[in-house]
Amino acid sequence: MTDSTAQIPDEPLFRVTEAARAVGVAPSTLRLWETQGLVAPTRRASGQRLYSAADVARLQRITFLRRESGLNPAAIRAALEAEGSAPPAPEILNEKLGASLRHLRQVRGEKLDDVAQKMGVSASALSTLERTGAGVSFKTLADLARYYGTTVSRLSDQDEPGGAVVRAGAARLWPMPVEGVRVEVLAEGRRQMDCHRFILSPGATSQGGYDHEGEEFITVIDGRFRITLDGEEVHELGPGDSIYFESRRPHAWANAADGQTVVIWVNTPPTF
């Protein structure tokens, strides 16, 4: 990382409290991981730490390796170095989504600070989302869609007319503003169901529970998928396992595998 933010003015940056909230740990934990050489945030001249979207993705991976695999700092460093030989994932940007959210807020005549306070996020995180379409949790995105009286799918223009057949390898990719979450659209146009393929990187999580109207069906294709209903009913699913539940039940989820997890996720009616 560099010592000045001036060289990366267009990259979303998060303060230590925002980065800590995104990965579910205390700010002091991030400072400890820095002393252990696990992460190196950008520093302002004042000493303030700033984390990029890539840093947050790395922190999510560190959290997974520590909690789920039980690795110590030395083992985590070794794992991260080994994974570093792979090409970096493309930056997640969805400026159209950000512009849609900004328009919805402005139509209501609300300020960033007002909406941020109601959503329980920082104004800077919300500003980054509106500028780039990146940098929030899955739960925050779902909460914002509900607050504005729309759905996540509508924000992605899934109501556009489309053919009945989606060929293998030709599914439209919707760039999620959430690190480690890839969503492929398996049914286009106006319909009675939202049909998606979720591809989750190690450590990917909804970062909290959310709910909406409707019913949901999930089946696991590869990996391990953990879903928590009503904050207490936990199910861990493997390949071939399925679950069906009412969407009004608050649901939180996570990739419970060391590697990638793939699930088919259907919501009806299309309230996702």
> What digits encode the pLDDT tens for the residues 106-146?
999 999 899 988 888 888 778 878 887 776 777 888 889 88
Query: What per-residue confidence (pLDDT) applies to 3?
Result: 43
**pLDDT at residue 85 tops 50:** no
Query: How far is Cα 262 from Cα 198, in angstroms, rounded to an integer?
Result: 6
Mean local confidence (pLDDT), 83-100: 60
Mean local confidence (pLDDT), 28-50: 85
Query: How far is Cα 58 from Cα 41, in angstroms, rounded to an integer?
Result: 11
Peptide bond into 27 cis (omega under 30): no
CATH number of 95-152: 1.10.260.40
Q: How many other CB atoms sit within 10 Å of the CB of residue 10?
A: 7
Task: Give the pLDDT band of residue 163 (cuts 50, 70, 90).
Answer: low
Q: Give which of 68, 64, 19, 11 is closest to 40, Cα–Cα.
A: 19
Q: What is the pTM of this model?
A: 0.60
Alpha carbon distances (Å) from 77 to 3, 39, 131, 182, 260: 22, 9, 33, 26, 20
Average pLDDT, the chain: 81
- Alpha helices, DSSP H, located in the chain: 16-23, 27-35, 53-67, 73-83, 95-107, 112-119, 123-132, 138-147, 152-155
| Phi, psi torsion values for 204, nearest 5 degrees | -65, 140
| Domain boundaries, given as residue ranges, for the chain | 5-83, 95-152, 164-268
Query: What per-residue confidence (pLDDT) applies to 8?
Result: 43
Q: Confirm if 257 and 223 have CB atoms less than 8 A apart.
A: yes
pLDDT > 70: what percent of the chain? 84
Task: Give the pLDDT band of residue 157 (cuts 50, 70, 90).
Answer: low
Structure tokens at 140: 């925050």
Q: Confirm if 198 and 175 have CB atoms less than 8 A apart.
A: no
Q: Give which of 267, 27, 56 is closest to 181, Cα–Cα.
A: 56
Task: Give the pLDDT band of residue 86 (cuts 50, 70, 90).
Answer: very low
Q: Give which of 162, 141, 146 is closest to 214, Cα–Cα.
A: 146
**Which H or E element spans position 225?**
strand 225-229
Per residue in 195-246, pLDDT (tens digit) is: 999 999 888 888 889 998 899 999 999 999 999 999 999 999 999 999 999 9
Query: What per-residue confidence (pLDDT) applies to 58?
Result: 86
Query: What per-residue confidence (pLDDT) applies to 2?
Result: 40
Are domains 5-83 and 164-268 of this chain identical in fold? no
Task: Give the pLDDT band of residue 267 (cuts 50, 70, 90).
Answer: very high
Query: How far is Cα 241 from Cα 222, in angstroms, rounded to an integer?
Result: 10
Q: What's the fold here for domain 5-83?
A: Multidrug-efflux Transporter Regulator; Chain: A; Domain 2 (1.10.1660)
Q: Give which of 248, 16, 104 is closest to 115, Cα–Cα.
A: 104
Residue of 108 and 189 predicted with greater confidence: 108
Q: What's the fold here for domain 164-268?
A: Jelly Rolls (2.60.120)
23-32, 52-61, 183-192: range with lowest mean pLDDT: 183-192
